[in-house]
Amino acid sequence: MKNIYLILGLSLSGRAASFFLLNQRKNIRVIAIEDNLKEDVEIRLLKKQNVKIFNSKDFIENFSDLNKIEKAVISPGFNPEAKIVKIIKKNKIEIFSEIELGARFLKENKIYKNKIIGITGTNGKTTLTKLIEHILNENKIKAKSLGNIKIPFTSYLTKILLKNNNVENQKETFILELSSFQLEKMKTKFLDAAIITNITEDHLDRYPNFKAYVDAKLRIVKCLKNRKNLYVTKKVLKSFIVNNSKINIKEVKEDIEDVAIKICLDFKIVKKNILCAIKTFKSLEHRLEFVREIKGVYFYNDSKATNAHSVIYAVKKIKGSIILIVGGKDKGFSYRIWNKHFKDNVKYVLAIGESSKKIKEELIGCRVQVIKDLKTAIEKAFSLAKKEDRVLLSPGCSSFDMFKNFEHRGDSFKKFVSILGDK
DSSP characters for 344-364? TTEEEEEE-STTHHHHHHH--
Tell whether domain 4-92 is in CATH 3.40.50.720. yes
- pLDDT by residue (tens digit) across 323-362? 999 999 999 999 999 999 999 999 999 999 999 999 999 9
Q: Tell me the pLDDT band of 13, cut-offs 50, 70 and 90.
A: very high
pLDDT at 232: 86
What's the confidence (pLDDT) of residue 65? 85
Q: What is the mean pLDDT of residues 140-158?
A: 95
Strand partners, 290: 300
Distance, in Å, from the CA atom of 73 to the CA atom of 153, rounded to the nearest integer, reads: 13
Q: Count of alpha carbons within 13 Å of 322, Cβ hemisphere only?
A: 25
- Per-residue pLDDT band for 243 (boundaries 50, 70, 90) equals very low
- Over residues 288-317, the mean pLDDT reads 96
3-state SS track over 116-134: EEEEECCCCHHHHHHHHHH
Determine how many CB atoms are found less than 10 A away from the CB of residue 345: 15
| Across 205-227, average pLDDT | 92
Residue 71 is classified by DSSP as E
For the chain, what is the mean pLDDT? 91
46 and 15 Cβ atoms separated by less than 8 Å: yes
Provide the CA 139 distance to its chain's centre, in angstroms: 26
Beta partners for 383? none
Asked whether residue 256 carries a pLDDT value surpassing 90, the answer given is: no
DSSP state letter for 208: S
Residue 266 CB partners (closer than 8 Å, separation 6+): 193
Least confident range of 183-187, 198-202, 285-289, 373-377: 198-202
Segment 57-68 mean pLDDT: 91
> What are 271-285's pLDDT values in tens digits?
999 999 999 999 899
347/339 Cα distance (integer angstroms): 12
The answer to whether 375 and 368 have CB atoms below 8 angstroms apart is no
pLDDT value, residue 3: 85
**CA nearest neighbour of 297 among 403, 389, 202:** 389
Cβ atoms of 132 and 143 within 8 Å: the answer is yes
Average pLDDT over residues 217-246: 75
- The predicted pLDDT at position 180 comes to 95
Q: What is the mean pLDDT of residues 299-309?
A: 97
Sign of the CA dihedral 102, 107, 111, 112?
Answer: positive
Name the residue with higher pLDDT: 24 or 47: 47
Q: Do domains 4-92 and 100-279 have the same CATH topology?
A: no
Q: How far lies 53's CA from each of 14, 65, 68, in Å?
A: 12, 15, 16
What CA–CA distance (Å, rounded) separates 135 from 140? Answer: 9
Cα 64 from chain centroid? Answer: 35
Strand-pair category, 297-301 with 289-294: antiparallel
Instruction: Name residues whose C-beta falls within 8 Å of residue 30's C-beta, 6 or more positions apart in sequence.
Output: 4, 5, 7, 18, 21, 22, 46, 49, 51
Q: Is the pTM of this model over 0.85?
A: yes
User: Coil, strand, or helix at residue 178?
Assistant: coil
100-279: CATH, from 3.40.1190.10, 3.40.50.300, 2.60.120.260, 3.90.79.10: 3.40.1190.10
The closest alpha carbon to 312, from 342, 283, 333, belongs to 342
**CATH 3.90.190.20 is held by the domain 289-418:** yes
Please check whether residue 264 is in contact with residue 274, taking contact to mean a CB–CB distance below 8 angstroms.
Answer: yes
Domain-wise residue ranges, the chain? 4-92, 100-279, 289-418
* CA 266 – CA 260 distance, rounded (Å): 10
Reported as a pLDDT band with limits 50, 70 and 90, residue 250 is: low
Burial of 244 (0-12, 13-18, 19+ CB in 10 A): exposed
pLDDT at 238: 53
pLDDT given at position 166: 61
